[in-house]
Amino acid sequence: MLSQHIQDIINEQIKSEMYSAHLYLSMSAYCETINLSGFAKLLREHNEEEMSHAMRLFDYILDRNSKVELGAIDKPPSDFPSLLAVFEKVYEHEKAVTEMINNIYALSVKEKDYPTQVEMQWFISEQVEEEKTALHVLERVRMVGDSGPALLFLDTHIINEDEEVEEIR
């Protein structure tokens, strides 16, 4: 069974992962409204990935014969000044998530909760990939700047680029 502290912090992380899912879905809707369907699809896929992170933690709590307590998910922003602002926010958000994951790991070390350390190692590795992908997309968006033709090209190819980054990993 999980300690109360570990149970609480993992329940909080489930909420954070669900917020990430909400945030990326809201960003996806914004991209659709500015006719960038490739970026919209990329963010919609990230929404699903964040929900899978939440469910992995959900199942972990249950596997440890402990209690899942779902919290209210904050409303994500629905207005964004630009595509660049969206991906700057994605990168900053992923760095904040990494801090949260590291905090759970640190607590599990402090409490000598070895199974939680092993579970968190998966998330620590995942966050390396999440930050890498977020930065890759952000740098591409920065690179095209205000060039409409370059932006349209990137929008068409961004999904493939994301998959190529996955393959390089």
Binding site for ligand FEO (CB under 6 A): 17, 20, 50, 53, 94, 97, 130
Smallest Cα–Cα separation from 18: which of 59, 76, 67?
76
Residue 83 C-beta: closest distance to ligand FEO, Å: 19
Instruction: Indicate the residue among 129 and 164 with the shorter CB distance to ligand FEO.
Output: 129
Instruction: Name the residue number minimizing CB distance to ligand FEO.
Output: 53
In order of 14, 53, 163, the CA distances from 59 in angstroms are: 10, 10, 27
Smallest Cα–Cα separation from 82: which of 39, 131, 22?
39
Q: Tokens at residue 31, please?
A: 């991209």
Residue 165 C-beta: closest distance to ligand FEO, Å: 14
Q: Tokens at residue 98, please?
A: 């990494």
Instruction: Return the SS3 of 147.
Output: coil
Residue 158 C-beta: closest distance to ligand FEO, Å: 17
Instruction: Indicate the residue among 94 and 119 with the shorter CB distance to ligand FEO.
Output: 94
Instruction: Indicate the residue among 23 and 151 with the shorter CB distance to ligand FEO.
Output: 23
Residue 50 C-beta: closest distance to ligand FEO, Å: 5
Instruction: Indicate the residue among 130 and 155 with the shorter CB distance to ligand FEO.
Output: 130
Instruction: Indicate the residue among 45 and 111 with the shorter CB distance to ligand FEO.
Output: 45
Q: H or E stretch including 80?
A: none
Q: How many residues does the chain have?
A: 169
Residue 146 C-beta: closest distance to ligand FEO, Å: 28
Instruction: Please report, to the nearest 10 degrees, the dihedral formed by the alpha carbons of residues 141, 143, 149, 153 taken in order.
Output: -60
